[in-house]
Chains A and B, each alone.
Chain A
Amino acid sequence: MSILYRKLARELWHMRGQVLAIAVVIAGGMATLVMSLTTLDTLVDTRDTYYRDYRFADVFATLKRAPESLREPVEAIPGVQQVETRVVSHANLDIPDFPDPAVGILISLPDGRNAELNRLFLRTGRLPEPGRAGEAVVNEAFAEEHGFRPGDRIGAVINGRRQELEIVGIGLSPEYIYHVAPGDLFPDFARMGMLWMNRTQLEAAFDMDGAFNDVVLTLTRDGRSADVIQRLDALLAPFGGQGALDRSDQLSHRYLELELDQLRTMATVFPAIFLAVAAFLLNVVLTRLIHSQREQMGILKAFGYSHVDVGLHYAQMVMVIVAIGLVIGTGMGLWLGQMLSELYRDFFRFPYLEWRISTRSLAIGTLVTLAAAAGGTFAALWRAARIPPAEAMRPEPAPVFRPTLVERLGLQRLFDQPTRMILRNIERRPVKALLSATGIAFACGIMAIGTFQQGAVGYLIQVQYGQVQRDDLTVTFTEPTSRRALHELAAMHGVDHAEPFRDAGVRLSRGTAAYRTGIHGFEPESRLRRILDDELQVVTLPREGLVLNDFLSEYLDARAGDTVWVEFLEGRRERVAVPVAGVVREFTGASAYMNLDALNRLMREGTAISGVWLAVDADFRDAIVRDLKEVPRVAGVTDRLTAIQNFWDSMANIVLTFAFFSTVLAGSIAFGVVYNSARIALTERARELASLRVLGLTRGEIRYILLGELFLITLVAIPPGFLIGLGLVYLLVGTLDSDLYRVPLFLTPDVYAIAASTILVATALSAAVVARRLNRLDLVEVLKTRE
């Protein structure tokens, strides 16, 4: 059969443009799959190894203060393997040459050694030495933002006392892979740092001698988290326990999990689309190829090649194309996977990457591609194998054309003859036109999904920080404070406006559903904090009753008029029934709101406030921040807009990579579909078009007849493509809905514009390539050859 192989090789080479166009689409599917699964497997492996090697805890609990002697009963809880008690608190940081407010989370380490649980990975430097006060290890992200190296010093206001700290080491912890401050959307590496210090020093600073306020533990193999948490909560309740959390509720872990979920969806949706389009292209091209080789097949059979021989010959042709696609795709996928994994490693601050080639993805990719190819080519091959030789060699009957629907409706006068030819051609092969349109529409949809992120997150920020949270600075106090503090802050030079708020930690429950969150009390006429209804219109806070955001309302199954139980986790820790007065729309968090006075009354605490929102004159901002740092009762100052900007910069890499990748993929799909359709149309209709040229039509006119059809199909495909894009975005972000954030299903106009223009450019490119061939059409030669 060596001659048949030679025939195969030469013919593949001859149609290399088409071969490549199809292989690129297959490669796109394979590359996406390999990239996504490799990245996913690598990240999951890395996380798991990191968790295991650095002994990430299973249960986390915070309390007010308990004697170290409580450790023993905690260890005795059935199912508990190892317990570590800690002192964890906050401090305001004073960083040289950095005017903005920054908060440090102080975490105790056993004096002179690493923690037993949530161990530190030391990148450089050393741990604080026992007996030496003022030494700290800081987390790597924070250190990088400020360019810290071991030996550098920062100031910290610890429990109201200003101290000088020396950075002795830079490290990472599995507990803070992706740390987002409660109520914030993004991590703010510059303004939030983790500082690990000797336990003795923190005990002394926070009046915790022989006591702890934070405990983490691991479970035995058969230990059940829910049981342990129940007993632990009971033990800690008298000591101000705020309710223990399972690892699955731990913030950093959850953010990580959400990101991995997104990746998981991507690893399913994208390759599926690509493979479907590849299967379609294979089908079209192979059908066409077999069509053009009718006579050759007849001859092969006339000379004694069997149906099986001929069928195999064409099957091999498909296999070669598939193999080229798979090889390119695997290479691309591994390369992109490595790139993406490294981006994610930096984004998540993993200390290292357990790089791993996902053999699973190679197997799945190859199998799925082969299945898609087989599905796409089976019909054509079946026909090739069965076509009787005499029939194969007989010229095909003239295709049956009918007047199109438009013409039957009597509208033909609206169109010139070439346009009517286009319409008839589309109407004669509606399935082919439909499939082409579907392929193009999917390309358009992929474009939309690639670029939507930026717009959606921008929109989310615009709503959250343009409509809801409108303060320039949020000042929080160490403890609920009297309203006098409000007037002091309002009187500061440069402060335009100040409003008080009260945040109370609560556990809300209704029926069997319960959720730990905060009730935010503010004044109904507040300008710096507002709430929005379904339509994102500002609504006034009711005088009485609780307002839930949409997530909480759904979670607790509570609507306006229902009653929920509120259990305060501070103050008198009372449990009261409160009616729900309304539901508001929010893209972030799971919060409840209340009129400040009503909340104060409910807590029976007079007029206490937890903090103040400030609107400030931009010129005085730095001075105000500097002054606030000196106020002892101030626990923290948050400047959200700067935080967002910084985070956005750090995300830009990933977003850009993703958008670039989608553009290339979508472009290649569009090109693959359009180029193949055009090439096929050209071969099929070369005779017809040459005849028209002989009859006196210009090149422009026959170009229009051939390419007009493609542009028409492309134009028709774009609007459904937008819908597909919306659907894909929904598929991608719908799974991400959580109490942390809910990405709005919102595509900005530029997403549509970019998608449509990419598709049109891809169409124009392939049209140009085909038009060049059209210009070279040899009229006499074409007319001489028999069909």
Chain B
Amino acid sequence: MEAPETDRKVVFRARGLTKVYRMGEVEVHALRGVDLDLFEGEFVVLLGPSGSGKSTLLNILGGLDAPTGGEVICQGRNLVQAGDRELTAFRRHFVGFVFQFYNLIPSLTARENVAIVTEIARDPMPPEEALALVGLAERVDHFPAQLSGGEQQRVAIARAVAKRPAVLLCDEPTGALDSKTGIVVLEVLERINRELGTTTAVITHNATIADMADRVVHFLDGHIDRIDTPAVRKSPRELSW
């Protein structure tokens, strides 16, 4: 199952990434020189305490934020030099996001929350299909406020995958959920990774989740502490916390 790294296609190549931003009157060094490659089809877990720089990296990879220094190469293009128009197109067609707090638009139903993305995508699946994929075929006309947390997160995942993105970036997707619901969400992520071959990066500070990854990247204080490659990839059902 394990192939030599050189044989696998690199989706993201990040080199020397740094990020400094201001919050109010405080200067935050979020990234202090990060080198990382993400490979096609792999399931990576980014692990680390809060404030260690995971989310910042994810935002930069997804074209949501620009680094202070360094470069990110994706499909031969350097995202750091990309203009706003290019980044917008990049996000529109290439990346799917899942956030800790689901970030659904409260005024839209589940179907519409997915449709808002499929409307502008190039080759999307129908919103209903995406929702069926996450097991919510029955709840397409519900508003976010009528759905449980786990269901909302599954809508968010459906929204992220409906455009058939090359990568799925998940920031603490189970962070706001109880263990049982969290496992359901992880199952959905695992299934999408398996069935659609979508490169998936999951941020978490829950070490248990690392057991289902192809690779585990440990973050500490804005840099990568180490990268593990578990011998066995567990199924989400085998996890518990």
Contacts and interface: CB of A to CB of B under 8 A. Distances in A.
- Pick from A4, A296, A298, A299 the residue with the most CB of B within 10 Å: A299
Interface in B11-58: 23-25
Contacts of A296: 103, 105
Given A301-B91, A303-B91, A306-B85, A3 B97 contact: no
B97 to A, nearest CB: 5
Contacts of A298: 64, 103
Interface stretch (B112-120, B207-215, B226-234): B112-120
A398 interface: yes
B78 interface: no
A1 B93 CA distance: 16
- Pick from B24, B66, B105 the residue with the most CB of A within 10 Å: B105
- Pick from A1, A298, A303, A389 the residue with the most CB of B within 10 Å: A303
Contact of B64 (A302, A307, A400, A786): A302
Contacts of B105: 7, 296, 299
- Pick from A3, A389, A786 the residue with the most CB of B within 10 Å: A3
B24 A397 contact: yes
A390 interface: yes
Contacts of A4: 116
A397 B64 contact: no
B62 interface: yes
A132 interface: no
Given A295-B103, A400-B24, A304 B65 contact: no
B201 to A, nearest CB: 15
B103 A299 contact: yes
B101 A302 contact: no
Nearest to B62: A302
Contacts of A305: 88, 92, 120
A93 B91 CA distance: 92
Contacts of B90: 304
A776 interface: no
Contacts of B120: 303-305
B108 A304 contact: no
Interface in B108-158: 108, 112, 115-117, 119-121
Given A388-B65, A397-B23, A397-B24, A11 B119 contact: no
A2 interface: yes
Contact of A7 (B85, B91, B108): B108
B101 A1 contact: no
Interface residues of B, number: 33
A301 B88 contact: yes
A221 interface: no
- Pick from A305, A390, A400 the residue with the most CB of B within 10 Å: A390
Given A299-B103, A302-B91, A786-B101, A398 B116 contact: no
A6 interface: yes
A393 interface: yes
B195 interface: no
Interface string A348-391: 00000000000000000000000000000000000000001111
A7 B107 contact: yes
Contact of B108 (A3, A389, A391): A3
Contacts of B92: 303-305
B215 to A, nearest CB: 24
A513 B65 CA distance: 77
A296 B103 CA distance: 7
B116 A304 contact: no
Contacts of A302: 62, 64, 91, 95, 97
B199 to A, nearest CB: 17
Nearest to B143: A10
A382 to B, nearest CB: 14
Given A4-B116, A304-B89, A390-B64, A14 B107 contact: yes
A473 to B, nearest CB: 76
Nearest to B59: A390
Interface in A1-36: 1-4, 6-7, 10-11, 14
A6 B108 contact: yes
Given A10-B107, A304-B91, A397-B24, A3 B119 contact: yes
A296 B95 CA distance: 17
Contacts of B159: 303
B65 A303 contact: no
A79 to B, nearest CB: 71
Nearest to A300: B116
B88 A398 contact: no
A2 B65 CA distance: 28
A187 to B, nearest CB: 61
A719 to B, nearest CB: 37
B147 to A, nearest CB: 15
B2 interface: no
A390 B23 contact: no
- Pick from A1, A7, A300, A398 the residue with the most CB of B within 10 Å: A7
Nearest to A395: B23
Contacts of A397: 23-24
A303 B112 CA distance: 14
A59 to B, nearest CB: 71
Contacts of B97: 299, 302-303
Contacts of B99: 299, 393
Nearest to A295: B103
- Pick from A295, A304, A305, A388 the residue with the most CB of B within 10 Å: A304
A11 B107 contact: yes
Nearest to A785: B101
Nearest to A389: B64
Contacts of B65: 388-391
Contacts of A11: 107
Given A6-B112, A11-B107, A307 B84 contact: yes
Contacts of B121: 304
A391 B59 CA distance: 10
A391 B108 CA distance: 23
Contacts of B62: 302
A305 B64 CA distance: 12
Contacts of A388: 64-66
Contacts of B91: 301-304, 389
A304 B103 contact: no
Contacts of B89: 304
B164 to A, nearest CB: 13
Nearest to B97: A302
Contacts of A393: 59, 64, 99, 103
Interface string B170-211: 000000000000000000000000000000000000000000
A398 B84 CA distance: 28
Contacts of B23: 397
A10 B108 contact: yes
A44 to B, nearest CB: 49
Contacts of A295: 103
Nearest to A388: B65
B157 to A, nearest CB: 13
A627 to B, nearest CB: 84
Nearest to B100: A786
A397 B89 CA distance: 29
Contacts of B163: 303
Contacts of B66: 388
A39 B160 CA distance: 59
Given A296-B103, A305-B88, 11 more contacts: A3-B112, A3-B119, A7-B107, A299-B97, A303-B91, A306-B88, A388-B65, A390-B59, A391-B65, A393-B59, A397-B24
22 contacts: A3-B108, A3-B115, A6-B107, A7-B105, A14-B107, A295-B103, A296-B105, A299-B97, A301-B91, A302-B97, A303-B91, A303-B116, A304-B88, A304-B89, A304-B93, A306-B85, A306-B88, A388-B64, A393-B99, A397-B23, A398-B24, A400-B24
Interface of A: 1-4, 6-7, 10-11, 14, 295-296, 298-307, 388-391, 393, 397-398, 400, 786
Q: Which 7 A-B pairs have the closest CB atoms?
A: A304-B92, A390-B65, A397-B24, A10-B107, A390-B64, A3-B116, A304-B91
